Structure 1
Amino acid sequence: MFRVLELGSNISAPLAGTILGDLGYDVIKVEPPKGDDRRAIPPFKEGASVYFSSVNRNKRSVVVDLRRSEGLEVFRKIASTSDVVLTNYRPRALKKLHIDYDSVLEVNPRIVYCSITGYGGTDEPAYDATILAESGLMDLTGEPDRPPVKFATSISDVTTALTATVLVLHSLLTGRRPVFLDVSMIHTQLYLILEDAYALLNVGLEPRRTGSSHRFLVPYQAFQAADGYVYVSVFNDEQYTRLCEALGREDLKVYKTQEERLRNRDKIVGDLQEVFRRNNRDYWVSLLKAYDVPCAPVRKLREALEIYGKSMVREVRGIKYLSFPSNVSRGVELPSPRLGEHTVDVLKELGYTQEEIGTLIKEGVVMDEGLK
């Protein structure tokens, strides 16, 4: 089993660690005495932050004061037995504590060292929203006549975690070791912009906010029904014809091509919106699906979880978790760890005696969950 040493806080590195834990890796989360900052974010259940729990299952927590020489020695022993170091700490802090790539390389010449930063190897602080603002994604999100908005979820943190996971797995699969992986949040977001970035780079087309609608496809947006919203995704001419037939608007078939529909967007959208207001959401979804028109109800999160999430939910130690969306994951075997919950167990695995462990705890070098 591969071992991952995580030096993570907040979302990006901890989520990458959780994914690797879900896939069966032994993930040891080394935390400072105060713990990951995310532990303090409400709401709480069973004494644990559900925000922390969302990105910290299937790993073990070891508390080590890395400012102490004895604590650094504990870290080096864990690093020497690990295959991966995963971190989103600032490079300056890593170097100051002697836990940076070069330092780990001294004790483990086969290490895969993955460093997540906001802007690629810099110490500039970065959070999900600031990266969205810097990347141009926030400017592209929202209604055209309204201010820009952030995503509903921490999308830059999540996608950076996924990118880091892919790179770690690739390094382990190919045996490319040692290796330093520099994973940048800003570059990850620029990569994910895809078609808008390519349109700007190649034909100079400057994208603008379009709300729920598509820039080049009509109709491809949310329509308000009597009791909610329906998202209609018409991608080609045949689907558009079937949509017109389903809604009894044969007259709108005159706009046969995407180019014609783009030129007449306001007319088409306005006419269709009048129709959708006449009945409820589920009526329209049922009708359009009968005509093989791609569509979906715009659901609330609670509704989506009740319909699609039941098979993913696992409850461990009073906290409900969403399992990794794959049948090859091991599921949620370990709940999010209490601060320092596994310190003693890991130290014993490293060969420390009970007496040595007791001394380290007494002197405040390490902390065990049961002996705070």
Structure 2
Amino acid sequence: MKQNLNISNGPLSSLIIIEFGNYVAGPWAGQLLADMGATVIKIEPISGDPWRKSNEFKPNESKSFISINRGVKSFAINLKSIEGNNILSNLIKNIDGVISNNRIDTSKKLKIDYNSLKKINDKIIYVEITGYGVKGKKSKDPGFDTIMQGYTGTITGEGKINRGDIGLVQSTSFIDFSTGYAAVNALLAGVIERSITGKGQKISTSLLANALGMQSMRLIDVENYPSPTKNWFDNKYNKLKKTKTNFINILGSYNEQVRSNLLKTYYRVYTTKDGAITLGALANHARISITKLLKIKDERLLNNSKKFPKNYHKNIEKKFQEKFDNHTTNYWLKKLKKNNIPCEAVRFIEELLSDEQAIKNNNIIKLKHHTGDNIITTGPVLDFNHKIKKKSAPKLGENNIEILTSLGYKKDTIKDYIKKKIIL
């Protein structure tokens, strides 16, 4: 089967992976593995991954789906049927690993959970992605990026309020994507361990685990050294709730503690005369360079342990903003970079589709889709010395006959499965 299906020359060309993925986290993991040369077979219901229907521009074709399913094979099959389950069993015998981001109960119902599949192939590396982890009362709850942003404090931590609304991190499903990366790490770690022990295993990761991991610099408490936000939470939060303070106002009070951090003055966005720039001055010498360039005095740079008036940071930031508003973005980029101060212009996502730097590094690539449409999309996040063939996302069920043939099924049997809607 491996000889029939795998034609890649990438570092993972010896691996065949089944992806029981939908929406973002699982499919992103599948695409990452395919980008490294693995044969990734995406198992879809006859109706397809729901993400295919997200603002589709043609039947079963959406930009969201195409963007995170590059290079995988689509096998559309009815797993609720006896025949479909038998076909899957034959497929499982020949694979190396599984990526799954179904709900736990769904996997058990379809008999695609680890305990069911290891009876067929006990050497598989099974990576299970859940919303809240496999233990605890929330373990069976569905997990979506926006829900997890709320549960893990990401939304309040961002502190974005627009006209009274609390803002999500909506430019991307960053928790989903980070979980996809974790799933790939897990699968490859399992493959390496199997090469030593000869044994397969199940490895779990979750949206919760990755959302918390990405906030590790905030999610830490050292005894006797509470952060300003921890102090606020312990001493003020419940008092505000008891007085029935509006949540927007509570969040505003919380953000005042975050904003008081010296870092926020020099690691943030300022508008300019014609746009905006973002500063990345983490080092003290860069901060000093900014104050010299702008001719603004900030005593915190001399003694940050000293207590300053409550609105000191606001006054400094106001002075910064007034200076930046006087000139264009390009003016400030030249001035700041000349003084070795890390900075960049704030841009729109759409600008990256034609960005020279991204294109030069194959971070933005062009592909021909099976519909005949030309596609500009993000490229692989890893760049190997040798070229790995890139292929756009598959048509629903595009590889059904190829996969069944590789398993030894005859043409008449395949036609019968299509007629009975066992496969698409």
Q: Is TM more than 0.5 here?
A: yes
Q: Give the structure 2 partner of residue 148 of structure 1.
A: 166
* 1:194 correspondence with 2:216: yes
- Classify the secondary structure of the residue corresponding to 2:301: coil
Q: Contact (CA 8 Å) 2:262, 2:313: kept in 1 or not?
A: no
Q: How does 1:327-338 map to 2 (within 5 A)?
A: 327-328=383-384, 333-338=390-395
Q: Distance in 2 between matches of 1:123 and 1:12?
A: 17
Residue from 150, 156, 165 that aligns with 1:133: 150
1:219 offset after TM fit, Å?
2.4
Residue from 200, 215, 220 that aligns with 1:178: 200
Residue from 301, 325, 328 that aligns with 1:256: 301
* 1:224 correspondence with 2:271: yes
Structure 2: tracts of 5 or more residues without a match: 1-13, 231-253
* 1:163 correspondence with 2:192: no
| Range with greater deviation from structure 2 (338-347 or 95-104) | 95-104
The code of the aligned residue for 2:344 comes to A
Q: Distance in 1 between matches of 2:166 and 2:222?
A: 19
Q: Contact (CA 8 Å) 1:321, 1:332: kept in 2 or not?
A: no
Q: Give the structure 2 partner of residue 268 of structure 1.
A: 316
The code of the aligned residue for 2:226 comes to G
Q: Contact (CA 8 Å) 2:26, 2:100: kept in 1 or not?
A: yes
Q: Give the structure 2 partner of residue 357 of structure 1.
A: 414
The code of the aligned residue for 1:81 comes to N
The code of the aligned residue for 1:156 comes to I
Q: Cα RMSD between the aligned structures? A: 2.4
- Classify the secondary structure of the residue corresponding to 2:205: strand
Residues 256 and 98 of structure 1: CA distance in aligned 2, closer, same or farther (over 3 Å):
closer
Q: Contact (CA 8 Å) 1:212, 1:221: kept in 2 or not?
A: no
The code of the aligned residue for 1:183 comes to T
The code of the aligned residue for 2:358 comes to G
Q: Give the structure 2 partner of residue 370 of structure 1.
A: none
Residues 31 and 211 of structure 1: CA distance in aligned 2, closer, same or farther (over 3 Å):
farther
Q: Distance in 1 between matches of 2:62 and 2:110?
A: 28
Q: Distance in 2 between matches of 1:262 and 1:180?
A: 52
1:80 offset after TM fit, Å?
1.1
* 1:316 correspondence with 2:368: yes
Q: Contact (CA 8 Å) 2:353, 2:376: kept in 1 or not?
A: no
Q: Contact (CA 8 Å) 1:113, 1:181: kept in 2 or not?
A: yes
Q: Distance in 1 between matches of 2:351 and 2:404?
A: 45
Q: Distance in 2 between matches of 1:9 and 1:130?
A: 17
Q: Contact (CA 8 Å) 1:143, 1:210: kept in 2 or not?
A: no
1:109 offset after TM fit, Å?
1.1
Deviations 1:275-317 (A, max 9, x none): 1111001110111100111111111112234223323312222
* 1:2 correspondence with 2:47: no
Residues 158 and 279 of structure 1: CA distance in aligned 2, closer, same or farther (over 3 Å):
same
- Classify the secondary structure of the residue corresponding to 1:366: coil
Q: Give the structure 1 partner of residue 88 of structure 2.
A: 75
Q: Distance in 1 between matches of 2:41 and 2:260?
A: 44
Deviations 1:226-250 (A, max 9, x none): 0111112222332122212322x1x
Q: Distance in 2 between matches of 1:12 and 1:361?
A: 30
Normalised by the size of structure 1, how large is the TM-score?
0.91
1:99 offset after TM fit, Å?
1.6
* 1:242 correspondence with 2:289: yes
Q: Distance in 1 between matches of 2:144 and 2:391?
A: 28
Q: Distance in 2 between matches of 1:195 and 1:216?
A: 15
Q: Contact (CA 8 Å) 1:17, 1:56: kept in 2 or not?
A: yes
* 1:287 correspondence with 2:335: yes
Q: Give the structure 1 partner of residue 349 of structure 2.
A: 301
- Classify the secondary structure of the residue corresponding to 2:219: helix
Q: Distance in 1 between matches of 2:65 and 2:111?
A: 27
Q: Distance in 1 between matches of 2:77 and 2:223?
A: 48
Q: How does 1:15-30 map to 2 (within 5 A)?
A: 15-30=28-43
Q: Distance in 1 between matches of 2:394 and 2:110?
A: 24
Q: Distance in 2 between matches of 1:136 and 1:61?
A: 36
- Classify the secondary structure of the residue corresponding to 2:218: helix
The number of aligned residues is: 365
Normalised by the size of structure 2, how large is the TM-score?
0.80
Deviations 1:68-115 (A, max 9, x none): 111001111111111111111111121112221111111101011111
